[in-house]
Amino acid sequence: MHYHKPQTFEDAIKIAATAQGVTRFLAGGTDVLVQLRAGIVTPDTLIDLKLIPGVRDIVREADGGWTIGIAVSGAELGRHAALVAEWPGVVEGMNLVGSTQVQGRATLAGNLCNGSPAADSVPGLVAAGATVSVVGPNGTRKLAVENIPASPGRTHLQPGEIVAAIHLPPRGVNGGDAYLRFIPRTEMDIAVVGCAISLTLDGDKIATARVALGAVAPKVILVAEAAAALIGTTLDDHAVSALQAAATAAAQPITDRRGTVEFRKDVTAVLAARTARIAYARAKGEAK
Amino acid sequence: MSKIHVSAVVNGDPVDFLADPRESLLDCLRDQLGLTGSKEGCGTGDCGACSVTVDGVLVCSCLVLGVEAEGKAIGTVEGISQGSTLHPLQRKFIEHAALQCGFCTPGILVAAKALLDQNASPTETEVRYWLAGNLCRCTGYDKIVRAVMDAASEMREAV
C-alpha cells in the first residue's frame, strides 16, 4: 500500500488519477481503517487529506453561512459555540457518531462518503440544506448533500473525486433544527431510525421546512411531502399528524436484527413529531 | 512496499520507528516501541482498550495509522505514572478494585485522564458518557466510575 500526504487537493486528485488498483482517501480513518483491518477494502493507494491547509478549519462565510473543512472532527464541531448555537441539529447528529475516541477522529465528510443509510450526521446536513464542494479530474462542482449517497456504501462521486468542503447556508433569523435517532441503548449504537428537521418561522407559522430521514431507505432521504405538511402551520396537532403520515409513507425500511419494517415505520412517526417540536422550540428561541 | 520512517514523541520521549503504511499506531507502539500497555480488544474502534492521546486528543490507536503519528505527541498508559509514583487514577483503581482481568484498564486510565485533564469536576453522567467507548466485561463499570470520581475529588483537593 502506498501512502501519500498531498499538500493540495489538486495534488491529491493527480495522485488518484495515476494510481493503480484500489484508492482510498483518508480523513478521520474511522471507517477506512476498520475496512482495511477486516480485509473488506485493502487500498493499493491511500491518500491522507489531513495535511492540506484549511481542512481543519470552520469558517464563517460573508453571507453568514459556514464552510467546514473535511478533517474537522466531531469533537471540534461540538466545541464550536457559534456553530452549535446556529445549527444544533447538525452538530448533535455528528456528535452521536461513536465514542469519545471516535469523536476525536471522525468527520462529517467521512460519515457522508461512507454511504451508510444510518449515518447519524447526514440527515442533519440534508435538512439544513448543506452542500459540498466536490473536486475531481474534471474540475469542481457543488452538490446538495442529499445527492451524494446512492445506496448502502455507494455514493454518486465519480472515481477520483473528493469532497473538499462542506457548506452550511446562513441560518438567518427564527430558524431551528434538530436530529433524533432511536437506538436500543443510550450510547454507541447504530440508528434504527433517524430524523432531522430544519425550519424557519414567520411569527408563529412555519415558513420553510426540510425533513430528512435516516435508516429507513437505501440512503438518507429528503421528504418533501413531510416538509409540506409543516409549512404554513403553527405545528398544531393536525400538522403533526400530517407530518407523521407523510414521513411514515416515505419510509421504506427493511426488517433486520435492529428492527422490523412495522417497528421502524412506527418509530419514524414518533421521531418526526418529537424532532419537529424541538426544531420549532429552537426556532422560537425557547430551547437550546 | 518499503517502510516509512516516522518521528514522534511518546510520553515525552522522542522516538523513531519504521512503519509499514498498513500498520496501526497500536501495532507500532506494541511491536516497534515495546509499549505493550495499550491493548487490542476489537481492532475496530468499539472497545477502547487501545486508547491513547494524539496531541492531547483521545483516540483509538487501532484506528490511527502508525505513519499518521509523524510529528505528533502520543500519550499512552506507560506515561501516566511519575516514575514509580502512581497517578491518583491508578491508585484509586486499585483501592476501588476497579479492575478484574485488567485488559481494559490501560485504555480506561488513558481515557479517564483525558477527561480529568479537561474537566476537573465531571458529573457521574459525564464520566459514564465519556467512557462509553471503553468496554469492560468484568466489573459492571460501577467500580470504575467510582474510582474516577474519587480520583477527581482527590486531585481537586490537591490543587
Rounded Cα distance between A82 and A66, Å, is 10
Rounded Cα distance between B32 and B51, Å, is 17
- Report yes or no: B1 at the A interface, CB cutoff 8 Å: yes
Indicate whether B73 and B98 sit together in one domain: no
Q: What value of ipTM does the predicted structure carry? A: 0.95
Indicate whether B58 and B114 sit together in one domain: no
Task: Identify the CA nearest to B115 among candidates B134, B100, B96.
Answer: B134
Task: Identify the CA nearest to B100 among candidates B44, B46, B157, B140.
Answer: B140
Residue B159: pLDDT band by 50, 70, 90 thresholds? confident
Indicate whether B70 and B112 sit together in one domain: no
Average pLDDT, chain B: 97
B153: pLDDT strictly greater than 70: yes
Last residue of a domain, one of B79, B98, B118: B79
- Report yes or no: A29 at the B interface, CB cutoff 8 Å: yes
Chain B nearest-CA residue for A105 = B59
Last residue of a domain, one of B48, B79, B110: B79
Task: Identify the CA nearest to A93 among candidates A112, A120, A113, A116.
Answer: A120
Indicate whether B114 and B50 sit together in one domain: no
- Across-strand partners of B13? B10
pLDDT at position A100, please?
A: 97
pLDDT at position A187, please?
A: 85
Indicate whether B64 and B103 sit together in one domain: no
Indicate whether B60 and B106 sit together in one domain: no
- Helix axis angle for A261-283 and A88-95, nearest 10°, is 140
CATH number of residue B124's parent domain: 1.10.150.120
Say yes or no for a CB contact (<8 Å) between A104 and B111: no
Residue ranges covered by each domain of chain A: 2-38+54-168, 184-283
Q: Which domain does B25 fall in, by range?
A: 4-79
Indicate whether B21 and B41 sit together in one domain: yes
Q: Contacts of residue A33 in chain B, CB cutoff 8 Å?
A: 24, 45, 62-65
- pLDDT tens digits, one per residue of B76-120: 999 999 999 999 999 999 999 999 999 999 999 999 999 999 999
CATH number of residue B10's parent domain: 3.10.20.30
Indicate whether B97 and B154 sit together in one domain: yes
- pLDDT tens digits, one per residue of B28-81: 999 999 999 999 999 999 999 999 999 999 999 999 999 999 999 999 999 999
Cα–Cα distances (Å) from A232 to A89, A226, A228, in that order, read 22, 13, 8
User: Cell numbers 434538530 label which residue?
Assistant: A178
Rounded Cα distance between A68 and A48, Å, is 18
pLDDT at position B1, please?
A: 59
Q: How many domains does chain B have?
A: 2
Say yes or no for a CB contact (<8 Å) between A100 and B58: yes
Indicate whether B103 and B56 sit together in one domain: no
Q: Contacts of residue B104 in chain A, CB cutoff 8 Å?
A: none
Among the four given CATH numbers 3.40.50.300, 3.30.390.50, 3.40.50.1110, 3.30.465.10, the one describing domain A184-283: 3.30.390.50
Say yes or no for a CB contact (<8 Å) between B45 and A102: yes
Q: Contacts of residue A188 in chain B, CB cutoff 8 Å?
A: 46, 132-133
- A279: its cell numbers: 426544531
Say yes or no for a CB contact (<8 Å) between A101 and B64: no
pLDDT by residue, tens only, chain A of 288 residues: 899 999 999 999 999 999 999 999 999 999 999 999 888 999 999 999 999 999 999 999 999 999 999 999 999 999 999 999 999 999 999 999 999 999 999 999 999 999 999 999 999 999 999 999 999 999 999 999 999 999 999 999 999 999 999 999 999 999 999 999 999 988 889 999 999 999 999 999 999 999 999 999 999 999 999 999 999 999 999 999 999 999 999 999 999 999 999 999 999 999 999 999 999 999 999 988
pLDDT more than 70, % of chain B: 99
Indicate whether B74 and B16 sit together in one domain: yes
Indicate whether B13 and B72 sit together in one domain: yes
B128: pLDDT strictly greater than 70: yes
- Report yes or no: B15 at the A interface, CB cutoff 8 Å: no
Question: Which among B60, B64, B134 is the top mutation candidate for probing chain A, defined by the most A β-carbons within 10 Å of its own β-carbon?
Answer: B60
Nearest-CA distance B130 → chain A (Å): 6
- Report yes or no: A20 at the B interface, CB cutoff 8 Å: no
3-state class of A59 per DSSP?
strand
Cα–Cα distances (Å) from A183 to A94, A103, A189, A191, A267, in that order, read 15, 18, 6, 5, 10
- Report yes or no: B119 at the A interface, CB cutoff 8 Å: no
How many beta-carbon pairs below 8 A join chains A and B?
82
Say yes or no for a CB contact (<8 Å) between B134 and A99: yes
pLDDT at position A29, please?
A: 95
pLDDT more than 90, % of chain A: 95
- Topology classification of domain A2-38+54-168: 3.30.465
